[in-house]
Amino acid sequence: MSIISKIQQRLRRDYYRWLHQKASRGILDTPPLKPGTMPFTLLSMVQKRDVLAYLVALKSFVGFAAPQRIVVVCDPSIDETDRKILQLHVPHIELRAADEFTHPDIPRGGTWERLLAICDYARESYVVQLDADTVTVNQPKEVLQAISRRVGFVLGEAPKQKLITLATTSANAQGDYYGQLHIQGYSEACMAQVGLPTDALYVRGCSGFTGFPPSTSMREDLVHFSNCMARKVGMQRWSAWGTEQITSNYLVANAAGTQVLPYPEYGTPDVMNSDTVFIHFIGSLRFVSDRYEKTSRKVIGQMKESALFPSLTS
């Protein structure tokens, strides 16, 4: 790609980012949330630049599934102004510092603290992990059923995706030389040979939207998986960005009754259609068009103008 093309691409991304930021400010004009009654905890990790986007993600989801508890694991960039905004719009929110969730055998940074927090809350509650760069546009029936049945769910990346054995996981990854250059592909390629249970499962999913049934052993399972992988690939490489998602995929695949959410009903903006329920605006697709801005603006308008969102109170 030429220098001119790179500059043009950067300018387009900056423009679409500006449009989205402008649209997201409208969330501040929507009423605050009131506590829900559904028996689960909604947990997210949020940094300063994503506070408004998080409120869009939160309110659009809670409009269909109102949890009893809402927890934010605060990135160190979150300041007192951000806390006041979050508390104004979610008076019952629980704000926790990322440093509260560490373990001597687990990498620091990325979203590892979030996964450790999920383990703690899952000891007594079903936990839904919701990324700030998501928008819920229709009733997530499969998610509501999973919460009701106390079974896991995870975002997939292809239609009719299933949970697979570790042997199949490694075989698939070993056939993809270029994929192994990334920590995810490399880790998957050796996953069957690191000392994990032979009947364990895996899913190549996305940790951005995941449901974890209650579990008293999840934290111990996380530490065991991480130690096994770190011994194989080395702690330095195991501390790279993406290793938390690999671990999340393993944990949810081995949770009770986990299902992969139907794709593309739950997917990324490049596969949006009339049946879309939930959109994850992942980084590579976030600001390549005005879809994020228009989708956010639409759901904010619905919050202001309709009774679609019973969890909002005037």
User: Mean pLDDT score of the chain, rounded to an integer?
Assistant: 93
| Cβ neighbours around 184 below 10 Å, total | 18
What is the share, in percent, of the chain residues with pLDDT greater than 90? 89
Q: In what order do the strands lie in the sheet with 38-46?
A: 94-97, 67-74, 38-46, 127-130, 206-212, 153-155, 259-260
pLDDT tens-place string over residues 34-69: 999 999 999 999 999 999 999 999 999 999 999 999
Q: Who has greater pLDDT, 265 or 304?
A: 265
- Write down the pLDDT at residue 133: 97
- Write down the pLDDT at residue 283: 87
DSSP bridge partners of 73: 45, 96
Measure CA of the first residue to CA of the last residue in the chain; give whole Å. Answer: 51
Q: What is the mean pLDDT of residues 178-193?
A: 86
| Cβ neighbours around 103 below 10 Å, total | 15
Report the C-alpha gap between 65 and 264 in whole angstroms: 20
- Residue owning tokens 């999920």: 118
- DSSP-assigned letters across all residues of 126-194: -EEEE-TTEEE-S--HHHHHHHHHT--EEE-SSTT---EEHHHHHHHHHT-TTGGGSHHHHHHHHGGGS
Report the C-alpha gap between 152 and 238 in whole angstroms: 25
Q: How many residues does the chain have?
A: 314
pLDDT tens-place string over residues 98-157: 999 999 999 998 899 999 999 999 999 999 999 999 999 999 999 999 999 999 999 999
Q: Sign of torsion, CA 307 141 44 93?
A: positive
- Residue owning tokens 């996964």: 115
pLDDT tens-place string over residues 149-158: 999 999 999 9
pLDDT tens-place string over residues 164-183: 999 999 999 987 655 677 89
DSSP bridge partners of 202: 164
Q: Who has greater pLDDT, 285 or 175?
A: 285
Give the CA distances from residue 19 to residues 22, 52, 83, 131, 293, in Å, rounded to whole numbers and listed in that order: 5, 13, 24, 20, 6
Say which amino acid occupies 3. I
Q: Does residue 80 register a pLDDT over 90?
A: yes
Q: What is the mean pLDDT of residues 307-312?
A: 50
- Write down the pLDDT at residue 44: 98
CA 164, chain centre distance (Å): 21
How many helices and strands (H and E) does the chain possess?
Answer: 12, 12
- Write down the pLDDT at residue 178: 54
